[in-house]
Amino acid sequence: MRPQINPSILSADFARLAEEADAVAGADWLHVDVMDNHFVPNLTLGVPVVESLRKATGTPLDCHLMIEQPDRWAPQYVEAGAGSVTFHAEAAAAPVRLAREIRAKGARAAMALKPATPVEPYEDLLPELDMILVMTVEPGFGGQSFLDIMLPKIRRTRELIAKHGLDLWLQVDGGVSERTIERCAEAGADVFVAGSAVYGADDPAEAVRKLRNQAGS
Ligand code: DX5
Ligand code: ZN
Protein backbone atom coordinates (compact mmCIF):
# COMPACT_ATOMS: atom_id res chain seq x y z
CA MET A 1 0.00 0.00 0.00
CA ARG A 2 1.14 3.55 -0.73
CA PRO A 3 2.03 5.29 2.57
CA GLN A 4 -0.89 7.32 3.88
CA ILE A 5 -0.52 10.68 5.62
CA ASN A 6 -3.30 11.70 7.99
CA PRO A 7 -2.91 15.30 9.22
CA SER A 8 -4.18 15.75 12.76
CA ILE A 9 -6.51 18.71 13.13
CA LEU A 10 -5.49 18.91 16.79
CA SER A 11 -2.74 21.24 15.55
CA ALA A 12 -5.12 23.23 13.29
CA ASP A 13 -7.04 26.41 14.11
CA PHE A 14 -10.32 25.14 15.63
CA ALA A 15 -12.14 28.34 14.60
CA ARG A 16 -11.36 27.65 10.92
CA LEU A 17 -11.67 23.87 10.64
CA ALA A 18 -13.17 23.85 7.13
CA GLU A 19 -10.33 25.96 5.73
CA GLU A 20 -7.76 23.94 7.63
CA ALA A 21 -9.20 20.77 6.09
CA ASP A 22 -8.98 22.38 2.63
CA ALA A 23 -5.34 23.26 3.26
CA VAL A 24 -4.50 19.53 3.25
CA ALA A 25 -6.96 18.42 0.56
CA GLY A 26 -4.31 16.03 -0.84
CA ALA A 27 -4.19 14.06 2.41
CA ASP A 28 -5.55 10.52 2.55
CA TRP A 29 -7.59 11.04 5.71
CA LEU A 30 -8.12 13.82 8.25
CA HIS A 31 -7.20 12.63 11.74
CA VAL A 32 -9.71 13.87 14.31
CA ASP A 33 -8.57 13.61 17.94
CA VAL A 34 -11.51 13.23 20.33
CA MET A 35 -10.52 13.72 23.98
CA ASP A 36 -12.84 13.63 26.99
CA ASN A 37 -10.64 14.94 29.83
CA HIS A 38 -10.97 11.54 31.56
CA PHE A 39 -9.08 9.02 29.44
CA VAL A 40 -6.53 11.78 28.72
CA PRO A 41 -5.98 15.10 30.53
CA ASN A 42 -7.29 17.23 27.65
CA LEU A 43 -10.64 18.08 26.07
CA THR A 44 -11.25 18.64 22.36
CA LEU A 45 -14.42 17.99 20.39
CA GLY A 46 -17.32 15.58 20.01
CA VAL A 47 -19.98 14.19 17.70
CA PRO A 48 -21.51 17.54 16.50
CA VAL A 49 -18.13 18.84 15.32
CA VAL A 50 -17.47 15.59 13.43
CA GLU A 51 -20.90 15.91 11.80
CA SER A 52 -20.14 19.45 10.64
CA LEU A 53 -16.64 18.61 9.48
CA ARG A 54 -18.04 15.72 7.44
CA LYS A 55 -20.17 18.20 5.50
CA ALA A 56 -17.29 20.68 5.13
CA THR A 57 -14.71 18.35 3.54
CA GLY A 58 -14.52 15.52 1.04
CA THR A 59 -11.52 14.02 2.83
CA PRO A 60 -12.55 10.97 4.86
CA LEU A 61 -12.39 11.32 8.64
CA ASP A 62 -10.19 9.11 10.82
CA CYS A 63 -11.59 9.59 14.34
CA HIS A 64 -9.21 8.71 17.17
CA LEU A 65 -11.28 8.35 20.34
CA MET A 66 -9.20 9.07 23.43
CA ILE A 67 -12.22 8.64 25.64
CA GLU A 68 -13.63 6.39 28.31
CA GLN A 69 -16.59 4.16 27.43
CA PRO A 70 -15.84 3.92 23.71
CA ASP A 71 -18.32 1.01 23.59
CA ARG A 72 -21.04 3.53 24.20
CA TRP A 73 -19.78 6.39 22.01
CA ALA A 74 -17.92 4.94 19.02
CA PRO A 75 -21.05 3.96 17.04
CA GLN A 76 -22.22 7.59 17.19
CA TYR A 77 -19.03 8.70 15.44
CA VAL A 78 -19.80 6.30 12.59
CA GLU A 79 -23.29 7.77 12.35
CA ALA A 80 -21.73 11.27 12.36
CA GLY A 81 -19.82 10.32 9.21
CA ALA A 82 -16.43 8.97 10.32
CA GLY A 83 -14.90 6.62 7.76
CA SER A 84 -12.66 5.04 10.37
CA VAL A 85 -13.11 4.90 14.15
CA THR A 86 -10.27 4.07 16.52
CA PHE A 87 -10.96 3.12 20.13
CA HIS A 88 -8.33 2.50 22.80
CA ALA A 89 -7.68 -1.08 23.96
CA GLU A 90 -7.25 0.25 27.51
CA ALA A 91 -10.75 1.77 27.53
CA ALA A 92 -12.89 -0.72 25.63
CA ALA A 93 -15.00 -3.12 27.71
CA ALA A 94 -15.68 -5.49 24.80
CA PRO A 95 -13.25 -4.73 21.94
CA VAL A 96 -14.39 -7.55 19.63
CA ARG A 97 -18.04 -6.64 19.96
CA LEU A 98 -17.20 -2.96 19.46
CA ALA A 99 -15.05 -3.57 16.36
CA ARG A 100 -17.86 -5.67 14.86
CA GLU A 101 -20.39 -2.96 15.57
CA ILE A 102 -18.23 -0.26 13.95
CA ARG A 103 -17.76 -2.44 10.86
CA ALA A 104 -21.45 -3.37 10.71
CA LYS A 105 -22.34 0.32 10.69
CA GLY A 106 -20.05 0.81 7.68
CA ALA A 107 -16.78 2.26 8.98
CA ARG A 108 -13.29 0.85 9.32
CA ALA A 109 -12.59 -0.37 12.86
CA ALA A 110 -9.29 0.36 14.54
CA MET A 111 -7.78 -0.18 17.97
CA ALA A 112 -5.07 1.97 19.59
CA LEU A 113 -2.39 0.98 22.09
CA LYS A 114 -0.84 3.47 24.52
CA PRO A 115 2.95 3.25 24.80
CA ALA A 116 2.88 0.93 27.85
CA THR A 117 0.28 -1.44 26.35
CA PRO A 118 1.83 -4.48 24.66
CA VAL A 119 0.41 -5.79 21.37
CA GLU A 120 0.87 -9.50 22.11
CA PRO A 121 -2.26 -9.96 24.30
CA TYR A 122 -4.34 -8.69 21.37
CA GLU A 123 -2.89 -11.04 18.73
CA ASP A 124 -6.09 -13.10 18.43
CA LEU A 125 -8.19 -9.95 18.01
CA LEU A 126 -6.30 -8.59 15.02
CA PRO A 127 -8.55 -10.23 12.37
CA GLU A 128 -11.47 -8.22 13.80
CA LEU A 129 -9.72 -4.93 12.94
CA ASP A 130 -8.98 -2.88 9.84
CA MET A 131 -6.16 -0.93 11.47
CA ILE A 132 -4.04 -0.99 14.62
CA LEU A 133 -2.60 2.24 16.03
CA VAL A 134 0.70 2.11 17.89
CA MET A 135 0.96 5.38 19.83
CA THR A 136 4.42 6.91 19.67
CA VAL A 137 3.70 9.49 22.42
CA GLU A 138 1.48 9.38 25.50
CA PRO A 139 -1.92 10.42 24.11
CA GLY A 140 -3.30 13.80 25.12
CA PHE A 141 -1.36 16.54 23.37
CA GLY A 142 0.15 17.46 20.02
CA GLY A 143 3.74 18.57 19.60
CA GLN A 144 5.38 15.97 21.86
CA SER A 145 8.66 14.20 21.08
CA PHE A 146 8.56 10.88 19.26
CA LEU A 147 9.26 7.88 21.54
CA ASP A 148 12.02 5.88 19.85
CA ILE A 149 11.44 3.03 22.28
CA MET A 150 8.20 2.27 20.41
CA LEU A 151 10.06 1.19 17.25
CA PRO A 152 10.43 -2.46 18.40
CA LYS A 153 6.67 -2.57 19.12
CA ILE A 154 5.92 -1.30 15.60
CA ARG A 155 8.19 -4.03 14.26
CA ARG A 156 6.55 -6.75 16.39
CA THR A 157 3.09 -5.57 15.35
CA ARG A 158 4.07 -5.78 11.67
CA GLU A 159 5.38 -9.30 12.28
CA LEU A 160 2.08 -10.40 13.85
CA ILE A 161 0.14 -8.94 10.91
CA ALA A 162 2.37 -10.86 8.49
CA LYS A 163 2.21 -14.06 10.56
CA HIS A 164 -1.59 -14.12 10.27
CA GLY A 165 -1.59 -12.91 6.64
CA LEU A 166 -3.88 -10.00 7.52
CA ASP A 167 -4.76 -6.96 5.43
CA LEU A 168 -4.41 -4.67 8.42
CA TRP A 169 -3.11 -1.09 8.31
CA LEU A 170 -0.49 -0.14 10.89
CA GLN A 171 -0.82 3.47 12.01
CA VAL A 172 1.61 5.50 14.11
CA ASP A 173 0.61 8.70 15.92
CA GLY A 174 2.70 11.14 17.91
CA GLY A 175 5.88 13.04 17.07
CA VAL A 176 5.82 11.87 13.44
CA SER A 177 7.84 14.35 11.36
CA GLU A 178 10.47 14.60 8.64
CA ARG A 179 12.97 13.51 11.27
CA THR A 180 11.15 10.37 12.43
CA ILE A 181 8.89 9.13 9.62
CA GLU A 182 11.53 7.07 7.84
CA ARG A 183 12.27 5.07 11.00
CA CYS A 184 8.54 4.38 11.44
CA ALA A 185 8.18 3.25 7.83
CA GLU A 186 11.25 1.05 8.08
CA ALA A 187 9.77 -0.59 11.20
CA GLY A 188 6.58 -1.42 9.28
CA ALA A 189 4.11 1.46 9.70
CA ASP A 190 2.07 2.42 6.64
CA VAL A 191 -0.36 5.07 7.98
CA PHE A 192 1.18 8.17 9.53
CA VAL A 193 -0.59 10.76 11.66
CA ALA A 194 1.15 14.13 11.72
CA GLY A 195 -0.16 17.18 13.55
CA SER A 196 2.48 19.79 14.25
CA ALA A 197 4.67 18.59 11.35
CA VAL A 198 1.84 19.45 8.92
CA TYR A 199 0.00 22.40 10.46
CA GLY A 200 3.19 23.93 11.88
CA ALA A 201 4.67 24.06 8.36
CA ASP A 202 4.45 27.18 6.17
CA ASP A 203 2.79 25.09 3.47
CA PRO A 204 0.77 22.21 4.99
CA ALA A 205 -0.02 20.64 1.59
CA GLU A 206 3.66 20.55 0.72
CA ALA A 207 4.45 19.05 4.15
CA VAL A 208 2.00 16.20 3.41
CA ARG A 209 3.67 15.51 0.04
CA LYS A 210 7.15 15.55 1.57
CA LEU A 211 6.17 13.22 4.39
CA ARG A 212 4.57 10.80 1.92
CA ASN A 213 7.69 10.77 -0.25
CA GLN A 214 9.91 10.18 2.75
CA ALA A 215 7.72 7.35 4.01
CA GLY A 216 7.80 5.67 0.61
CA SER A 217 11.51 5.93 0.05
C1 DX5 B 1 -1.97 12.89 20.57
C2 DX5 B 1 -2.88 12.80 19.38
C3 DX5 B 1 -2.16 13.00 18.11
C4 DX5 B 1 -1.56 14.39 17.97
C5 DX5 B 1 -0.29 14.25 17.20
O6 DX5 B 1 -2.62 12.45 21.69
O7 DX5 B 1 -3.48 11.52 19.31
O8 DX5 B 1 -2.96 12.69 17.00
O9 DX5 B 1 -2.39 15.29 17.31
O10 DX5 B 1 0.35 15.48 17.15
P11 DX5 B 1 1.88 15.59 16.71
O12 DX5 B 1 2.00 15.05 15.33
O13 DX5 B 1 2.18 17.05 16.82
O14 DX5 B 1 2.67 14.76 17.71
ZN1 ZN C 1 -4.43 10.95 17.40
| Residue with CA closest to ligand 1 atom 6 | 139
Pocket test for ligand 1, best of 5, 63, 141, 191 (most atoms within 8 A of CB): 141
The number of the ligand nearest the C-alpha atom of 86 reads 2
| Residue with CA closest to ligand 1 atom 10 | 142
CATH 3.20.20.70 is the classification of domain 4-216: yes
| Per-residue pLDDT tens over the stretch 123-172 | 999 999 999 999 999 999 999 999 999 999 999 999 999 999 999 999 99
CB distance 196 to ligand 1 below 6 Å: yes
Q: 206: CA distance to ligand 1 center in Å?
A: 19
The domain locations on the chain are: 4-216
| Per-residue pLDDT tens over the stretch 83-117 | 999 999 999 999 999 999 999 999 999 999 999 99
CB distance 8 to ligand 1 below 6 Å: yes
**In this model, does residue 203 exceed pLDDT 90?**
yes
Active centre residues (catalytic): 33, 173
HSE (CB half, 13 Å, CA atoms) of 206? 4
Q: Given this model, what pLDDT does residue 1 score?
A: 82
